[in-house]
Amino acid sequence: MNAVQLISTGKCYNRHWAVRDVDLSLAPGERLALLGHNGAGKTTLLKLILGLTRPDEGEVKVFGEAPGQARRTIRTTIGFLPENVSFHDAMSGRETLRFYARLKKRSSKECAALLERVGLADAADRRVSTYSKGMRQRLGLAQALLGNPRLLLLDEPTTGLDPALRQAFYDILSDLAAQGTTVLLSSHLLTELEERTDRIAVMHQGRLLITGNLADLRRRAGLPVTLHLKIAAGKTSMVASALAGFAPETNGGDNLHLACAPADKMALLRQIGVLGTDILDVEINHPGLDAIYAHVTDAANAERTRP
Amino acid sequence: MNALLTIAGKEVKDGLRNRWAVTATLVLAGLALALAFLGSAPTGHVGVPPLAVTVVSLASLTVFLVPLIALILSYDALIGEVERGTMLLLLTYPVRRWQIVGGKFIGHTVVLGLATVVGYGVAGLAIAVTAPAGTAGNWLSFFVLIATSVALGTAFLALGYLVSSLVSEHATAAGLAVGLWLLLVLLFDMALLGLLAATEGRGLSPALFRWVLMLNPTDVFRLINLASFADVRTYSGMAGLPALAQIPVEALAGALVVWIGLPLVLTMAIFSRRPL
């Protein structure tokens, strides 16, 4: 059974479709990153999965049930970290976490362990009003992890975290995914997601443009691979003419820049291999998530503005 | 522990840490003490006046102050959490929406009840300690005053919750709460008085007049406290109004319960349907 199943789901607010025609399924233990600009529909999609709002079109299923009408016990197995999480300022971190733990019927021992895990053990008895943005975010993560959830929904989880904490955060996510927890996180910090999620879904104006792993996305976006060659002294023009089919550009020195479709990459590399010692070094750059994301959303915009 | 009690407990803790609860208690205690010892001035006595006079004075204080405190506590209760984003998170927990409304309401009632009981209780103790033995009078009327003050406050808490569930911004809720206070505490009686004066008392039949008074929780409160006890009636100017005293106190108490229950149930129904 899929942890999450969306079937041509749509949600309309005041005649504006915040989410439309979304088909998406998440297997247990899968980590999916949801990408999109602000207002692309990411948060609405999370709210639909959480059962906070009902779809106007299609279906939403979480562990096989519609989340709005589901038994409340299903909610004890879901963890959620909202965007810009906020707490009651007058309560301490420990009291806050215990409050949420009681609602999920979890022990205060688990709270202490979680505070330790997110690095808040020392600040646990301070009021939340004295917490920094990063500390609130960590407290938010701690409450989302209460009761070892089978499904974890995280809305922009790493904003406000410094690089070391971000690393620790993704380590926690990897541990959870290894235990079979499904993780859906939304973000617009693209570079950090590249290696840390199994699948990426790009949302734009309420629609799901593309889903797949990074290699899939690269292939489907069809963005060129770029190569930088360092050529032995005096051989630049000779190499350039040998690789003329790939339209090499030179800066006049010993460097050549080439671009090719992903499918032609190996053919190009074989040709480079034939040139032997005339080529000193090769640097291959695959398009990053940033470039893919920009390409996919630009293409969608172009389609929309076409008459 | 039940989700309802967990939320109520958090609200009590929050309320006790919030300086508003302490301030409300101090204001109520201070004004109650002042009225208990200075309230004799209009009757020409010097020193501790009969308890009945204090009851009349405190009843007037309650009518103005307790609804105000209750509305300040409650107008923000739901919309404030929606705006701050804490509600979104709470709704993803295994909690029903009526439990959120009910839990917070119970918590606020406990806070307001504590402030009222402690504030007025201090005044009562002061009277009991300083009055010569046997002269204090009818303590039942004093206990009824405290109980009905809490009930009146609870009714206004429920009205505040209703306001909070209806609006989409807390500023709107604040405005509506002020309007509600003006309407029920000041304007309603003025309008009624104006109508009676303009029609020389013939505008409303006594039976209808009684029903109209039931439409305002502050009037129900006044009738219970000012007209139900013989010794209090002499000081409150209600002695000459036999028609008013004919409403049985059980019916008045029932009216207060309706004023608490109806807005609360409405709030739960509205909040359960509210999209977020």
CA distance B223 to B212: 12
Give the mean pLDDT of B8-30.
89
The Cα of A199 is separated from the nearest Cα of chain B by a number of Å equal to 25
Residue B6's closest CA among B109, B108, B107?
Answer: B107
Query: Least CB-CB distance to B6: which of A76, A86, A103?
Result: A103
B91/A52 touch (CB, cutoff 8 Å), yes or no: yes
Whether B238 contacts B129, CB under 8 Å = no
Q: What is the Cα–Cα distance from B244 to B224, expressed in whole angstroms? A: 10
Amino acid at A16: H
**A72 to chain B: which residues are within 8 Å by CB?**
94-96
For B9, name the nearest residue in chain A, comparing CA atoms only.
A99
Is pLDDT at B260 greater than 70 in this prediction? yes
- Find chain B residues with C-beta within 8 A of A50's C-beta: 91-92
pLDDT attached to residue B242? 54
Q: Which residues in chain A are contacts of B86 at CB distance < 8 A? A: 86-88
The reported pLDDT for the residue numbered B246 is 67
Structure tokens at B98: 């009526």
Q: Residue A233 has what pLDDT?
A: 76
B55 or A71, higher pLDDT: B55
> So what's the ipTM on this one?
0.85
| Bridge-based pairing state of the strands A31-35 and A182-187 | parallel
| DSSP type of residue A302 | H
Q: Cβ contacts (< 8 Å) between B85 and chain A: which residues?
A: 82, 84-86
Element (H, E) at A293: helix A289-305
Handedness of CA A209, A211, A213, A219 (dihedral sign): negative
Reported as a single tens digit per residue, the pLDDT across B62-107 is: 999 999 999 999 999 999 999 998 999 999 998 999 999 999 999 9
Q: Do B10 and A52 touch (CB under 8 A)?
A: no
Q: How far is CA A173 from CA A182, B115, B150, in A?
A: 9, 47, 50
Grouping H, G, I as helix, E, B as strand and the rest as coil, residue A116 is helix
Contact A99 B10 (CB under 8 A): yes
Average pLDDT, chain B: 86
Q: How far is CA A162 from the centre of its chain?
A: 17
Q: Do A53 and B275 touch (CB under 8 A)?
A: yes
Query: Residue B225's pLDDT is what?
Result: 86
CATH topology of domain A224-285: Alpha-Beta Plaits (3.30.70)
Q: Which of A39, A35, A28 is nearest to A5 (CA)?
A: A28
Apex A63 CA angle, A61 and A68, nearest 5: 45
Q: Which residues contact B169 (CB under 8 A, 6 or more apart)?
A: B79, B83
A223 closest CA partner among A232, A235, A214: A214
Beta carbons of A103 and B3 less than 8 Å apart: yes
Please answer yes or no on whether A99 and B86 come within 8 Å at the CB atom.
Answer: no
Q: Which two tokens stand for residue B54?
A: 């204090």
Give the start-to-end residue ranges of the domains of chain A: 4-219, 224-285
The closest CB to that of B93, out of A47, A75, A84, belongs to A75
Question: Distance from A87 to chain B by nearest Cα, in Å?
Answer: 6
pLDDT at B109 over 60: yes
Which among A126-140, B28-42, B47-61 has the top mean pLDDT? A126-140
Average pLDDT over residues B27-52: 72
CA distances for B47 relative to B40, B61, B182, angstroms: 7, 20, 34
What are the pLDDT digits (tens) for B185-195? 999 988 988 88
- DSSP sequence for B163-181: HHHH-SSHHHHHHHHHHHH
Tokens of B260: 């608490």
Q: Chain A: give the shortest CA distance to residue B92, in Å.
A: 6
Largest CA distance in chain B: 62
CA angle B212–B218–B221, rounded 5-degree value: 100
Mean of the pLDDT values across residues B228-256?
Answer: 71
Q: What percent of chain B has pLDDT over 90?
A: 50
List, as one string, the DSSP characters of chain B.
--HHHHHHHHHHHHHHHSHHHHHHHHHHHHHHHHHHHHTTGGGT--SSPPHHHHHHHHHHHHHHHHHHHHHHHHTTTTHHHHHHTHHHHHHTSS--HHHHHHHHHHHHHHHHHHHHHHHHHHHHHHHHHHSPTT-S--HHHHHHHHHHHHHHHHHHHHHHHHHHHH-SSHHHHHHHHHHHHIIIIIIHHHHHHHHHHHTTT-SS-HHHHHHHHHTSHHHHHHHHHHHSSHHHHHHHT-TT-HHHHTS-HHHHHHHHHHHHHHHHHHHHHHHHH---
Residue by residue, pLDDT tens for chain A (307 residues) are 888 888 888 888 888 888 888 899 999 888 898 888 877 888 899 999 998 888 899 989 888 888 866 566 788 889 999 988 899 888 999 999 999 999 999 999 999 999 998 889 999 999 999 998 888 999 999 999 998 899 999 988 887 778 888 888 888 888 888 888 999 988 777 766 766 788 888 888 888 888 888 778 877 777 888 888 888 877 777 777 777 777 777 776 788 888 888 778 888 888 888 877 888 888 888 887 778 888 888 888 887 766 5
Predicted local distance difference test score (pLDDT) of residue B238: 64
Burial of B112 (0-12, 13-18, 19+ CB in 10 A): buried
The amino acid sitting at B149 is S
Q: Bigger pLDDT: B160 or A40?
A: B160
**Whole-number Å distance between alpha carbons of A260 and A191:** 23
pLDDT tens column, B195-209: 888 888 777 777 788
Which chain B residues are within 8 Å of A152, Cβ to Cβ?
A: none
pTM of this structure? 0.85
Superfamily of domain A4-219: P-loop containing nucleotide triphosphate hydrolases (3.40.50.300)
CA distance A120 to A138: 8
CA angle, B257 then B258 then B264, to 5°: 95
What distance in Å separates the CA atoms of residue A156 and residue A167, rounded to the nearest whole number? Answer: 15
Contacts of A99 in chain B (CB under 8 A): 6, 10
